[in-house]
Amino acid sequence: MSSRSVSLTSTFLLLAAGGAAACDNDDDYQDAGFYCADANGVVVDEDYCDDDDNRSGGSALPFFIWYSSAYRSGYPVGSTLPSGGNKFAYNDRAARQSFGLPASGKIGNGTVKTSVVGKGGSARSSSKSSGG
């Protein structure tokens, strides 16, 4: 009876510790919304971030895919995204894939992915800019 009680108590404690660890990770992994925007965080038509679109006379402005857990609600074209987000070049295939996005093509404004914050090993922060 004593060893069975100890075994059940140990099992319960291990399960409880695992549950507590999962709760602690909520700050590291959250839902993030993705938007096509210019370097200043102004939302533009998602066609500007479609790297499959071979537009030859495109805009001189660089476009980025901006992401943040604060971007889950809808921001229309022309609105400025709230501060605190991050960005990477729209044609950065590795960054796209690290967030579970398609490696190429169009990403709809307002796309939400779960558990992406903290993944972006190849993502660029908002303080960096792209050379073209």
At residue 83, φ and ψ (nearest 5 deg) are -65, 160
Amino acid at 47: D
The mean pLDDT value of the chain amounts to: 72
How much is the average pLDDT of 88-96?
93
The ranges assigned to domains in the chain are 1-28, 32-113
Nearest to 113 by CA among 126, 94, 95, 100: 100
pLDDT attached to residue 21: 43
Contact 89, 126 (CB under 8 A): no
Residue 132 binned pLDDT confidence (cut-offs 50, 70, 90): very low
More confident residue, 6 or 98: 98
Give percent above pLDDT 90 in the chain: 39
How much is the average pLDDT of 61-68?
90
Residue with tokens 């102004």: 42
The pTM for the full model equals 0.63
More confident residue, 40 or 60: 40
More confident residue, 83 or 53: 83
Strand 63-68 and strand 86-89: the pairing is antiparallel
Residue 31 binned pLDDT confidence (cut-offs 50, 70, 90): confident
Residue 58 binned pLDDT confidence (cut-offs 50, 70, 90): low
Contact 105, 50 (CB under 8 A): yes
Cα separation of 25 and 6, whole Å?
A: 29
At residue 122, φ and ψ (nearest 5 deg) are -105, 5
